[in-house]
């Protein structure tokens, strides 16, 4: 899979994709992630990519020319399944969306800044808009990194144990059950006996029941239509 991220702060994303699972996926050739410096695509002699908004108001807007140049330049090199803009007013990011994106071959993620990007880019070039939450960050780099991490870890071979991703929270619409490790007792705090029993069917039953109960307590909205 290939992910091209258009950004004015590639160094902010580089630190997050150079470690752990994403790093290993890149080294194995499972994923290619390229950081595209937007300033390389502006004709402004000062390499500016923002300007005042028409109609007035506070804040700057990312201008259309460099974004158009960057996206169309990339599209000349290959076909992209989605061109994603990360924005607070986009579709809420979910595990279901991550699963869908992990099945694609190539995507572009546009990391915005300032008050956002020129609407014409959204109208004519962007194919999907994603929000990572109902809050505002200084830029789209962290959301782009979040999406990249969530997608890459789902690719075959990215995880040491491919079954691990299947038991993550939200994969089946539920939160993950509690997990325990050695020692079986610490300061009088004990691991549930069922997990020490070796009875796999009963353990799986327990885990499912715990997932449902945990979801009911912490995220009851997820259970709507589940039961």
Instruction: Give tens-digit pLDDT for 31-65.
Output: 999 999 999 999 989 999 999 999 988 889 999 99
Do residue 16 and residue 53 come from a single domain? yes
Cis peptide before 183 (omega within 30 of 0): yes
Mean pLDDT of 141-160: 94
Tell me the C-alpha distance between 59 and 68, whole Å. 21
Is 6 contained in some domain?
yes
Number of domains in the chain: 2
Residue range(s) defining the domain that contains residue 68: 2-152
**CATH number of the domain enclosing 196:** 1.10.1270.20
pTM: 0.86
Output phi, psi for 19, to 5 deg: -140, 165
52 lies in some domain: yes
- Local confidence band at 114 (pLDDT 50, 70, 90 cut-offs): confident
Instruction: Tell me the pLDDT tens digit for each residue of 9-31.
Output: 999 999 899 999 999 999 999 99
Q: Are both 209 and 99 inside the same structural domain?
A: no
Is the pLDDT at 167 greater than 80, yes or no?
no
Taking 80 as the threshold, does the pLDDT of residue 103 lie above it?
yes
pLDDT grade for 173, boundaries at 50, 70 and 90 = confident
138 and 68 belong to one structural domain: yes
Report whether pLDDT(155) > 70.
Answer: yes
162 in a structural domain: no
Instruction: Tell whether 126 and 172 lie within a shared domain.
Output: no
Both 84 and 14 in a single domain? yes
Q: Is the pLDDT of residue 227 over 90?
A: no
Structure tokens at 96: 């279901």
């Amino acid at each position: 899979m290939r992910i091209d991220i258009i950004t004015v702060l590639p160094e902010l994303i580089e630190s997050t994709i150079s470690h752990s699972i994403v790093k290993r996926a890149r080294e194995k050739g499972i994923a290619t992630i390229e950081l595209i410096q937007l300033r390389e695509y502006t004709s402004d002699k000062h390499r500016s990519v923002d300007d005042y908004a028409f109609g007035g108001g506070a804040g700057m807007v990312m201008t259309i020319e460099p974004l158009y140049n960057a996206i169309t330049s990339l599209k000349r090199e290959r076909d992209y399944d989605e061109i994603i803009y990360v924005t607070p007013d986009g579709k809420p990011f979910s595990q279901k969306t991550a699963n869908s994106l992990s099945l694609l071959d190539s995507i572009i993620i546009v990391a915005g800044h300032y008050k956002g990007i020129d609407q014409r880019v959204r109208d004519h070039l962007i194919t999907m808009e994603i929000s990572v939450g109902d809050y505002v960050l200084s830029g789209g780099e962290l959301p782009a990194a979040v999406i990249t991490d969530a997608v890459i870890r789902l690719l075959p071979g990215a995880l040491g144990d491919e079954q691990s991703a299947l038991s993550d929270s939200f994969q089946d619409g539920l939160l993950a059950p509690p997990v325990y490790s050695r020692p079986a007792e610490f300061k009088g705090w004990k691991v549930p006996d069922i997990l020490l029993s070796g009875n796999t069917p009963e353990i799986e039953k327990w885990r499912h029941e715990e997932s449902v109960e945990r979801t009911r307590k912490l995220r009851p909205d997820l259970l709507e239509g589940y039961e």
